Chain A
Amino acid sequence: MIRAAFTLAALALPATLSAQSVAIIHARAMPVSSAPLDDATIILANGHVLSVTAHGAPPPGARVIDAGGHIVTPGLVGAASQLGLTEVLAAADTTDQSVSSGPLGPAFDVQYALNPNSTLLPVARADGLTRAMVFPGAAATAPFSGMGALIRLLPTGDILDRPRAAMFAAVGNGSQSRAGGSRAAQWGLLRNALDEARRYAALPRPSGPRDQLLNRPDVEALAPVIAGTMKLAIQADRESDIRQAIRLAAEEKIHIVLMGGAEAWRAAPELAAAHIPVILDPQADLPQTFDAIGARLDNAALLARAGVTIAFSVSGNGIYLSYDAGIDMREGAGIAVANGLPYADALAAITKGPAAIWGIEHGGTLAPGADADLVIWDGDPLEPASAPLAVLVNGVEASLATRQTALRDRYAPGRQDAMPPAYR
């Protein structure tokens, strides 16, 4: 019913979409940047949030959307996904998420592979995701995976929001085989790489034949990391690796983000003190590897209580990372709540938290001036059974149609067409 109303309203829109202001009335607003507000009016103009006020009057000429008391949140921000890099995970020729052979390490840059026509993107957007960090998978050479890119799930046009948005590396969990069989080698190579990047920055040419391990593109790619302008995300689960990462951040004076962090709760106060945020999987409660012996469902709650900035990325055996990137984060957030994380912290971990971690200045909240990405939900957004009634990206309502809804409609129960489904 409500969905139909939205659709009709969208059809009546004039061509100058982004210029027109939009007023969402009767919303239960959850701006994340401030306390929830009932019967709120959210005004969007020129692609930004203008205001969120109780019982506010829509400005003249604005397109009005009646949220009917439903919850409105900022568009969700995926802290770590591989959207745009993966089409069919098992078919290697349809995937671009990692460099599987050759010398490319830190210089591997996913921005060049992003596919805005991937069928995975509309599914994620129809689940409320409007932004995401797209990160490279583990590379052939340890420990660096390469550089990730931020995407914005605009319905049309370029999804690339910011290339070279962070550097990624992976330590432990079996990936040490790529570094000669020991995590000590991984840490050694990682430290050496930063060291070579520093020396190269000071003297931008190799000082002699075979004097450095890294090739020119790799060492140049690390320059912003040592300069402190690019974050280094380290995937690690084991406490010892997490403590190594904390040490590295202090010694090298670089900005580190911890990904995975199954045992991060063991170092929660130190992570908080070092201002190292953690991107974790709230569903990870099994000792999946020997690095994750301490995995537990209240990892998120313990970290948040200690003051660590958290964000969620749910793996689901690797499938959720991309295929259900929107619904999985909400389910993960719900699971975190069921295991002790305050609701507001859980919502922040899929909006404001990842935006803060990746330096998306105007994303992840409905604060005045924020990007006009928001979602009207048919229920509680942290219930994976809920779904968006409407998703607005850059102030424009996006279609919720996906390949899946097309299949759904084609095979809906009770259809009695004389012609086969292919004619529907």
Chain B
Amino acid sequence: MTRRWFAHALALMGALNLAAVAPARDKEVQQPSLSYLRDIFPSIYRPLPRADTLIVHATILDGAGHRIDDGELLMRDGKVAAIGHDLDRTGATVIDAHGRWVTPGLIDIHSHNGTYVVPLTTIDEKASDVSELSDPNAAGTWIETAINPQDPAFPLALAGGVTTLQVLPGSDPIFGGRSVILHPITATTMQAMKFPGAGQGMKMACGENPKGENAELHRGPTSRQGELTYIREAFERARHYMEDREEGGGDHHGPPGKGHHPMDDNPMLDTLAAVLHGDIPVQMHCYRADEMAVMIDLSHELGFRIAAFHHAVEAYKIAPLLAANHICAAVWSDWWGFKMEALDGIRENAAFVDAAGGCAMMHSDSPFLGQWLNVEAGKAAAAGRRAGLSLPPEHVIAWITSNPARALGLDDRVGSLVPGKHADAVIWSGDPFSVFSRAEMVFIDGAKAYDRADPHYQPGSDFMLGRAPQAAR
């Protein structure tokens, strides 16, 4: 059964890859041929006004493993044009970053900004947009349809050096739904923040959260084994759905809106089918090592791809297994103990994942931590160094730049300051891993989106307007 499915999936991969490989930069986003992947809410993001910029005399960590002292970064037409020394400054605005550090824009692979909208009120207590809770299977939901761009957490993430973030649904459903990748540039609509051409992920959750919620709501599996079986059944349904649509010559090979509908679209099964196709990677909330190992086996059996385990407090116990399966681990620096499945958290987690050749990432999950990912990485790396590992800054910066870019499938565009990639960069007041350093300027697509010294480049959400004065009396 599974082998048959694998063959089926491989046959389809070719067609899908065309859409995936030509991810139409910025403006021209091509619609994939399968309806499963149709972008119903296309990005209308446009880079902010920009000028070609040359940053000089900076300590640069390029996100690709290099450190360039007294280095230069040239950004032209929104792309990294060159990095090194003595670059051509013709027509470029020059910024002297003496004593400053430059890194790629930070990427938060696990944010709830826009859905865990502050201030929290009893409205959210009753019905929050973090997760759809009517069913343990919310795979059909798209979190982007809930994003409130006026969440005050977005401009604060930007001020913390974040240039790209993935908003994930919460972990109470087993299938949380599709994620969305945004730039934290406050806009009037979600579409205007949406990273053009970025794919979606699907949130899934293991362990305590879904089973606890199910038990409380008297619906869905109430045990880990129940969750596993539930996942198998859901994917089995999705496989039949795909086969039926293939055999029925469904509309999904034609352009949107044309052809007949041999059967109803099912948003839930569409998502699961896209996951089985390998077009939407799974972003899986999992704490315990044993559970992650079970989920890896399950992914092999059913034929889906886990891009990353999120929270993953026990990733260090199975670091080689994660590395062998090319699964990233998104972790906190020091959160532990607050629930049973988080008891074994250690501060060396990211470092041990890294030491096994794996892909370690810091994530926020919280609008507070989402402003301090650099400090998170600093803490986690320091713990690793104390355990005897060599973790130079030029390597550690990958945990909050190129590694999350990889897990999001965006490493061809962002996450490192390599010529041709998007000019997403941060100028830090000092060592980016120090608590004393702040992001001074943040560039997205070569445009200055934030400047700590210039109020004209400090976006604020509508929510904060017209309230009690923010100046000291």
Contacts and interface: CB of A to CB of B under 8 A. Distances in A.
B21 to A, nearest CB: 35
A334 B435 contact: yes
A294 B344 contact: no
B338 A319 contact: yes
B83 interface: no
A268 B472 contact: yes
A329 to B, nearest CB: 12
B433 A385 contact: yes
Which of B334, B379, B468, B470 neighbours the largest number of chain A CB atoms within 10 Å of its CB? Answer: B334
Interface string B360-391: 00000011110110010011011100110100
Given A174-B122, A286-B156, A404 B347 contact: yes
Contact of A335 (B208, B338, B435): B435
Given A288-B119, A338-B436, A386 B317 contact: no
Contacts of B215: none
Given A91-B339, A407-B344, A286 B468 contact: no
B472 A323 contact: no
Which of B345, B368, B387, B437 neighbours the largest number of chain A CB atoms within 10 Å of its CB? Answer: B368
Contact of A286 (B122, B153, B319, B381): B153
Contact of B343 (A88, A287, A335): A88
Contacts of A411: 316-317, 346, 352
A261 to B, nearest CB: 14
A234 to B, nearest CB: 20
Interface residues of A, number: 52
Contact of B368 (A283, A327, A386): A283
A412 to B, nearest CB: 7
Interface in A361-384: 378, 382-384
Contacts of A335: 372, 435
A337 B337 contact: no
B379 A385 contact: yes
Interface string A320-338: 0001100100010011011
B438 interface: yes
B435 A323 contact: no
B201 to A, nearest CB: 23
B386 A294 contact: no
A386 B385 CA distance: 11
Q: Is the interface of B mostly helix, strand, loop or mixed?
A: loop
A278 to B, nearest CB: 15
Interface string A263-285: 00110100000000000000111
Nearest to A337: B436
A294 B379 contact: no
Given A89-B339, A327-B334, A387 B382 contact: yes
A225 to B, nearest CB: 30
B355 interface: yes
Contacts of B22: none
B335 A287 contact: no
A53 interface: no
Contacts of A286: 118, 152-153, 156, 367-368
Contact of A90 (B336, B339, B348, B383): B339
B337 A89 contact: yes
A384 B435 contact: yes
Contact of B375 (A239, A288, A318, A384): A384
A412 B348 CA distance: 9
B467 to A, nearest CB: 6
Contact of B468 (A239, A302, A331): A239
Contacts of B340: 88, 90-91
B456 interface: no
Contacts of B7: none
Contacts of A120: 337
A413 B339 contact: no
Contact of B119 (A119, A293, A408): A293
A35 to B, nearest CB: 21
B41 to A, nearest CB: 27
B387 A408 contact: yes
B434 interface: yes
B290 to A, nearest CB: 12
A246 to B, nearest CB: 14
Which of B316, B436, B467 neighbours the largest number of chain A CB atoms within 10 Å of its CB? Answer: B436
A117 interface: no
A399 interface: no
A229 interface: no
Given A296-B470, A404-B346, A90 B338 contact: yes
Contacts of B344: 407
9 contacts: A89-B337, A91-B340, A283-B368, A323-B336, A334-B436, A338-B435, A384-B435, A411-B317, A411-B352
- The 9 A-B pairs at the shortest CB distance, nearest first, are namely A334-B435, A385-B382, A90-B339, A413-B355, A89-B338, A385-B378, A404-B346, A323-B337, A287-B119
Interface of A: 87-91, 119-120, 174, 239, 265-266, 268, 283-290, 292-294, 296, 302, 316-319, 323-324, 327, 331, 334-335, 337-338, 378, 382-387, 404, 407-408, 411-414, 421
Given A286-B118, A338-B437, 20 more contacts: A88-B343, A89-B337, A174-B122, A266-B473, A289-B120, A293-B119, A293-B468, A319-B337, A323-B335, A323-B338, A324-B335, A324-B336, A327-B334, A331-B435, A334-B435, A383-B435, A407-B346, A412-B387, A413-B352, A413-B355
